[in-house]
Amino acid sequence: MNYRHIYHAGNFADVLKHAVLTRLIRYMQKKDGGFRVLDTHAGIGLYDLSSEEAQKTGEWVDGIGKLMEADLGPQVSELLEPYLSAIRELNPEGGIRFYPGSPKLARMLFRPQDRLSAMELHPEDYVRLHRLFEGDHHARITELDGWLALGAHLPPKEKRGIVLVDPPFEEEDEYQRLAEGLEKAYRRFPGGTYCLWYPLKKGAPIKEFHETLQALDIPKMLCAELAVRSDRGITGLTGSGLVIVNPPFTLKDELHQLLPALKDHLALDRFASHRAFWLRGENKAVKDD
């Protein structure tokens, strides 16, 4: 309840999360039938990077600020086009003042048949999120603990969907809670595509978290991680990871192109790294660096 994403909007972790989210949405749209994006920890939906809070940390400068100015090459540019075009649409006068959170980004990419369910527990943030989507019949905004949505709001009536779980990690047991939440949700909606975000920082129980996930009865889980700096002498965030359950068959190869480019352009020191690998499934790792 204390976490406010405005301080971190547009940082390197958002870049990884939103780049992958757009790839998942575009893959879903290869079929004519509609689908639903369920965002369990939605935030306020749209962030003003000129605000006092965002300027206080300036994290976006080393995230989306770098990426928008980068020479990405044709293949990576094509993969990132839906994501970066949405940001340009929000900033028609140039520069980057407004940055879309996950629910706003998803909504900007939707076709008429696609739908959004966004959950937010923080009272003030819920009010702002609700106001952002007021009158939008493609979006359902609910003031709710996102962990509860993994039971009560699955499966979606469309029977197709992306479930984005991006908790604030304010509690020590959040990694375990994330694994338990996935297990519960998967039982209700085994055909869904899940995208779970987690932080990388010194002392984080990443190995144990991965082992817990591997022990679940879920056939396919792909993992992508991006670290922008060493964790030596740093207690805060050094990188982030995503676990994608039921990933599109194209995603592994797309990560092979995206992750090296993101590492090269967002690195904060020479220890920046990336890796992608199967936690469960095809056992063919994308090249680490």
Q: What is the pLDDT of residue 1?
A: 47
| 137 belongs to a structural domain | yes
- Could you tell me the maximum CA-CA distance found in the chain, to the nearest angstrom? 50
Ligand-binding site membership of 102 (annotated)? yes
Banded model confidence at residue 236, pLDDT cuts 50, 70, 90:
confident
Tokens of 244: 């994608």
Tell me the average pLDDT across 272-285: 85
Ligand-binding site membership of 192 (annotated)? no
User: How many folded domains does the chain comprise?
Assistant: 1
pLDDT tens track for 170-222: 877 899 999 999 999 999 999 999 999 999 999 999 999 999 999 999 999 99
Ligand-binding site membership of 274 (annotated)? no
> Residue 122's closest CA among 1, 270, 249?
1
Here the CATH number for the domain that contains residue 62 is 3.40.50.150
Cα(202)–Cα(222) distance, integer angstroms: 23
| 288 belongs to a structural domain | no
pLDDT tens track for 25-74: 999 999 999 999 999 999 999 999 999 998 988 999 999 999 999 999 99
Ligand-binding site membership of 41 (annotated)? yes
Among this protein's residues, is 62 annotated catalytic? no
> Residue 106's closest CA among 127, 123, 129?
129
Q: Which domain holds residue 64?
A: 5-280
| 289 belongs to a structural domain | no
pLDDT at 287 over 90: no
Q: What is the pLDDT of residue 285?
A: 46
pLDDT tens track for 99-120: 999 999 999 999 999 999 999 9
| 93 belongs to a structural domain | yes
Cα(132)–Cα(231) distance, integer angstroms: 37
| 125 belongs to a structural domain | yes
Q: Which of 14, 136, 166, 217 is catalytic?
A: 166
Q: What is the pLDDT of residue 284?
A: 46
Q: How far is CA 68 from the centre of its chain?
A: 18
